[in-house]
Every structure is written in structure tokens, then in C-alpha cells.
Structure 1
Amino acid sequence: MGEPKIKFKVLTLNSIAKEGLNRFSKTRYNYGNDLSDPSAILLRSQNIHDFEFPSSLLAVARAGAGINNIPIEKLSELGVPVFNAPGANANAVKELVIGAILMGLRNLPDAWEYVSKLKGSDELISSKVEAGKKKYVGCELPSRTLGVIGLGAIGVEVANACLSLGMRVIGYDPKVTVKRAWQLYSGVQQAANLEELFKNCDIITAHIPLNGNTKFLINYTLMRLLPSNSIILNFARNGVVDNSAVIELINEGCISTYICDFPTPEIKDHQKVICLPHLGASTVEAEKNCAVMVADNLIDFLENGNVGHSVNMPEAKLSRTRPHRLSIANANVPSMVGQISTALAEQNINIADMLNVSRGDLAYTLMDIDDPVDDETFERISSIDGILRVRILPQLDEGL
């Protein structure tokens, strides 16, 4: 068998784990960071809001969960799905959150700094250690109540793990999915609103995206409801917590420690703030898991038109029953499928199998057909008002 007729180009804008890149067959794909007219963009944290997207672009894949660096609305208008890897980094973030809670409760950074400055003989250092350790007496996990804002993949893992470690855990998520609710341990309590959560917790952690509704969600008014010497954690996104309010409340004695993954000039040098260099998903395992998940979803979309784990397109999975397949992204308005079917029927093209799904303002259709689509029919379908993108998928006999 010779080279396949279809060869996709994947532009990588960040370093991607080799385990993910190895999913791309060398006979079907080219990938690299200097490709022109890419079929897909694969990235991690690179900001592409000002990117000029070529007409060749079929998909964007983020090897991670956060999508603030991607212009979702713009790509949706082009009929381009955006994939991410929800849950692939959940364990990594969960472990770091637990470590951060322990750092805050046991005063580990201050204790480490104290010891690092000790000088003298073994005997002198030992005596100073015994004399100074009383300043760093901490608290145990079961004595504290953790409030978890956002019960998605990460929030559920954090809540369950901390409950297992003996903490009282209260969660808040008015939009929790049925899937995540089933995964949540029965011992995790539910808060009716954020005010109730903050009044009953002394450690708060957020695991939510940053958008117009969550900007500065954790603000002065809410944090003022916390008991004295509370701890705030932010391993979600910069901007979810109002940093100015945190500093003000630390200075007032309400908050003892703020631990976050997003250093800024305003907070990074404060004595009661522990800033980490965005380490939440920075483990070998998480980077591998994210890369493999998005690569597999990207491959399935490029080769079969199937959509999984997209943030802007509906889930769409249809087994191939014919060598010929169309995929169509369009505005979610009436009569679209009828117009597409009519265009095919007038060319005596039979639809053998079909899937039509929608999500908000977007709809997506997969059609397995008995015969190939000629240029005239393709152009007719593409010109239907409301059509965003039409693709003729690679035939099953084209090496795919």
C-alpha cells in the first residue's frame, strides 16, 4: 500500500509530551512548530487570541484543562472545535492542593526558612531548633473544615481525598453534573450558597474556570465571613481570587496564609503569601495523560469527524458504516438537516447513517453516504445559510 492520499499537518505551539505525539502515525501526519496551513493546532499555555487562523484549520487541541488562552467564540464562528483534556491532570492538582494545605497548617515554609538561617555547631543548632520550634506549632487536618468551590474533575478528587484524610469537607457547585455527583463521596456536605460555605469553613480552595461570572468570585465580602487564621488556596486561575482583598484581610488578621499558583508583583513578596510557579499540572504523568487524551480525540476528529471532550461542540460519535462521510458544523436553527438531505438526494446520494446533535447555538451532523460527493454538491451544501464548515472525511480505503 502506498502513501495515503490524506496527510494532516499538526502545528505544535508548545512542548508536547512525546507519548501524545507518538499517537500520530508518521504516514498520516506531519507535526512540528513551523508548519504552514495546519490542519490542527496542538498547544498547552500558548496564547492564541491574536492568532490569524488559516482556512486550512480544522481543530484546536489544548493538552490541559484550562482554555483561557484560546478564543473559543472566534473558533466556534469558524466551525472549528476546541478540544481539551478534562480530568487528565486532576490527580496532579489534587496532590499539590493537599501539599499546600499541609504547608499552611504546619507552617512548613516559615519553619524551613528558620532552619536554613541557623548557624553554628551541631549542639548549638540542636538547641536553637528545640527553642525555636514552638513558634511553628501547627494544626492537624481533622481539626479543619475545607470548602471546595467547583466540583468538576479536580474539585471532586480534592474533596474526596481530604475527606479520606479526616477533614470535614463542604462543597459548592450549583452546576455539578450527574457524573461528578455520583463520584463524590457521601460524606462531602453541600452548601446552599457561597455565604454559607465561607461561614462554615476555615480553608477555601477553588477549582473553577475564569470567566465573566467567576472573575474575583472570592472577594473581600465573602472572605470576611471566614473565621480568624483561615487559609485561601488558588490553584484554579489567576483572577478567581481578588488578590488585593486577600492582602487586606491578611493584614487585618482574618487570613493567615494565601497559597496560589499564580505569582503577581502585588502578592509574591508578602510574608504570608506562598506563590508557586504554576505547578498545578506540572508532573510527568499529567503532561503525558493530557497529551495522549487530546491527541486521541484530535485523531478521531480529523479521520472520522467524531467529537469528544470539546468545549464548544457537542459530543458526536458515529461508527463508520460506509467509506464516504460528511461532517457539517452549522448554526443551531431549524431545517438545516432537511436542506442538506435535499442537496444530497438531488444527486441521488443516499444517506446510510446519520447523527445530528446540538450544543447551544451550534449543531453538528455526521452523515455516512453511499457515494462520493462531487464539487457541485459540496459547494451547494457549503453555501446554505447557517453552514459554518463542511468536510468530506477521508475514505476508509485511503489508508486510514
Structure 2
Amino acid sequence: MRNIYTLNKISSRGLKIFDESYSIQETLEAADAILVRSAKMHDMALPTSVKAIARAGAGVNNIPVEKCAQQGIVVFNTPGANANAVKELVIAGLLLSSRKVVEGINWASTLTKDVAKEVEAGKSAFVGPEILGKKLGVVGLGAIGVMVANAGQALGMDVIGYDPYISVDGAWGISRHIHHALSLEQILNEADYITIHVPLTSNTQGMFNAEAFSKMKKSIRLLNFSRDTLVNNEDLLHAIEKGTIDKYVTDFPVDGLIGNPHILTIPHLGASTPESEENCAVMAVKQVKDYLETGSIVNSVNFPRCEMAWNAAFRLTIIHKNIPAMIGKITNIIATEGINISDMLNKSKGEWAYTIIDTDTKVTDENVQNISEIDDIIKVRVLFK
């Protein structure tokens, strides 16, 4: 029996994927895996039984990713599962940034008499341009960015996209009508609307700052449905004062942005749809189940993607440091133990590596212990069909 600890409420559609060999529990004791949404985990003491954590969502800021790696815990996220939900809200934000719909609705709600007459007299204050034919710059062409780019093109916009690290899946998914920007500066110089879809890293934090704003045309509409700190808010406010930014639409309300007529703050609704929650739960559960049962890793943020067809009786999975001669040390021990390797795969990601070894030779607890005693081996598991 494998134990699954649900740290937040997880969609029943996802949990139903677990069969009778799994137990869903509300305690951490003896848990093999943890399913989480937004709960903070940085101060949690994780038992040695935990092998995987799956975040039903894309961001993993609430999980101590590096600490988990050191303990041999694979951390998964669910990129793309909520992409359509976010894309739809981005398109709504794109339209709201142009047409002053929110401002008009707020004004109309204050009218109390001769409403039709007042509307006709006052509606000119809420004139805004159409998006048809305007240039949309999409920064980041992951799952959401590609969908936004394609939707913008379908709405008649001239779309340019920039992502130096675009994946094969992203390249396959993007419309051939989307223009490829050779640099971020090209988008800053040319776009009428810019939407941000990059992950938050040390390199991207505050990337939209005074220097970036200085390269933009006047009256830009800027959309941020990715992470709040990708934009330097102090520099943003200065850019608004100078007329560079006409409207900033963000899904991340923070102090200093509320009440500014040039800023629309949406209360973090990007993934807040029942469909998105279900999709994230289903993906998270499938990834955890596959890892626990076959050792395959897909969509991990701290370990490499590693999948191999399993055609032997036993499978060893080994989490270890990515250092020279490690594979030789492992295979030497295996040879000494009389284990014949049927197939093997090794992948690395930064300082961490993962090795899968298939064999028809029975793997004993003693074999596992001997491999575990190699320096810089983090965790060894043996699986069998």
C-alpha cells in the first residue's frame, strides 16, 4: 500500500486515478508522496518515507525545492494544465487594457437618474482603441505564451514572440503566422501591447524595469499574468507618469498599485477555474503514480526528465550527485553483486542526476544497501513488476 498525503484539497477527479493499492490520508506520517496546491511547505519536516511532491499548478515557490533534492525527493509541477484558463484571462486583460470597459462599468454604476441621457453624454470619456491590426509582443513562449500568441493572431493582431529557450513542444504548437523576434529589445521597440509569460528566476526578476521601459513606444499596454516581481513596480509607476505605459494589467495586486487609474489589478484569478483545478490534479496524480510505480520522471523541477521502457523483472532507480565517475562506481558495485544489467539510462540536471537500471536478476535489500553506501548517492529504490 502506498500512502498519499493531500496537503490541500485536491480535485476528486485526480484522486480517482489512484487505485486500491493507494491510500489517501490527511497525515504526513509514512507518506510516500504529497499532493499540494498553495500550502507553504518550507517549515515542514518531511519524513524519509516521502519520495515525491507534486504541486497541482505551475509555480513551486511554496516548496523547498533544493532541500527536497538533497533528501532525494522529486518535486513535480503541472506546466500547461492551467494554460487555457490563464490564456482566457490574458485575452480578457488585453481587451480591458484597450477599451476602458472596467472604468465605464464603474462609472455607469454610479448613475441614479436620467441614466440613458447621462450615458450618452458621458461615454466619450471611455473611448479606447481596437486591438485589430495592432502589434502584440509575447515574451516567453511556453504553454501559456504559445496559446496567447495564437489567440492574438486569431483576433487579427500582428504577433511577435520572443523566447531564446523555446521548447520543441512550444515550437510545434505555435502558429506559423507568429513572427519570431530576435531579441527582447525588438519587442520593446515595436509592440503596442506586451504580455509577459516567463518563469521567475534570478535572471528574469525585475526584467521589466526603467531600462526596458525606456526602449518602449509611448502608450504601451503591458500585461503581467506570470509573476509579480518580473516587473519593477517603482520603475513602472515612473513609466506611467511619463506616458510610456498607458495601462498595466496584472493578476498580482500588491501595495502601491491599487487605485492608480492606469493599473487594473485582477485578484490572482488566472488559474481559478474548475477545469484548471481538475486538469492540474489529474496531471499531478499521473506523474506521482508513474514515478512511484515505474520510476519515470516527467515535469520535475529539481531532477531531469528520465523515461525508459521497462522490459525486465526488476528496476533500480538511483538519485545521486552529478559528478564524474559516479556511473562507474554504481556499475562496479552492481557487477560485484552479480547483477546483470538489461538496460540503463542516466540523465542529469544541474548538480543532480538520476539513473534507471533494469535487470532480470533479483535485487536484494543487501544490494540496495551496498549501492546506497556509495558517496554522493542520495536515494536508491528497487521496483518490480
- Whole-angstrom distance in 2 between the partners of 1:219 and 1:324: 54
Deviations 1:147-189 (CA, angstroms, capped at 9, x unpaired): 1111111111111110111111111111112331232222222
| Root mean square deviation, CA, Å | 1.6
Paired letter, 1:107: K
Gaps of 5+ in 1: 1-6
1:11 Cα deviation after fit: 1.7
Other-structure match for 1:4: none
- Whole-angstrom distance in 2 between the partners of 1:110 and 1:8: 53
Establish whether residue 117 from structure 1 lines up as the match of residue 110 from structure 2.
yes
Deviations 1:19-58 (CA, angstroms, capped at 9, x unpaired): 1111112x22222332323211111122222322221110
Other-structure match for 1:259: 249
Other-structure match for 1:324: 314
- Whole-angstrom distance in 2 between the partners of 1:268 and 1:43: 30
- Whole-angstrom distance in 2 between the partners of 1:187 and 1:334: 45
1:300 Cα deviation after fit: 0.6
Tell me, yes or no, if the aligned pair for 1:68 and 1:210 is still in contact at 8 Å.
Answer: no
Other-structure match for 2:165: 175
Paired letter, 1:16: I
Other-structure match for 1:88: 81
1:293-332 matches, cutoff 5 A: 293-332=283-322
Give the structure-1-normalised TM-score. Answer: 0.92
Paired letter, 1:315: R
1:123-162 matches, cutoff 5 A: 124-162=114-152
What SS does structure 2 have at the residue aligned with 1:64? coil
Tell me, yes or no, if the aligned pair for 1:194 and 1:222 is still in contact at 8 Å.
Answer: no
Other-structure match for 2:42: 49
What SS does structure 2 have at the residue aligned with 1:51? coil
Task: Specify whether residues 90 and 135 from structure 1 end up closer, same or farther in structure 2 by C-alpha distance, changes over 3 A only.
Answer: same
Other-structure match for 1:16: 10
Gaps of 5+ in 2: none
Other-structure match for 1:359: 349
1:1-400 matches, cutoff 5 A: 7-25=1-19, 27-120=20-113, 124-393=114-383, 395-396=384-385
Q: Equivalent pairs: percent with the same residue?
A: 43
Deviations 1:269-312 (CA, angstroms, capped at 9, x unpaired): 22221111111111111111111011101101011111111122
- Whole-angstrom distance in 2 between the partners of 1:226 and 1:202: 9
What SS does structure 2 have at the residue aligned with 1:217? coil
What SS does structure 2 have at the residue aligned with 1:390? strand
- Whole-angstrom distance in 2 between the partners of 1:349 and 1:178: 37
- Whole-angstrom distance in 2 between the partners of 1:253 and 1:338: 62
Aligned length: 385
Question: Which 10-residue stretch deviates more, 177-186 or 300-309?
Answer: 177-186
Runs of 4+ in 1 over 3 A off after TM superposition: none
- Whole-angstrom distance in 1 between the partners of 2:234 and 2:55: 31
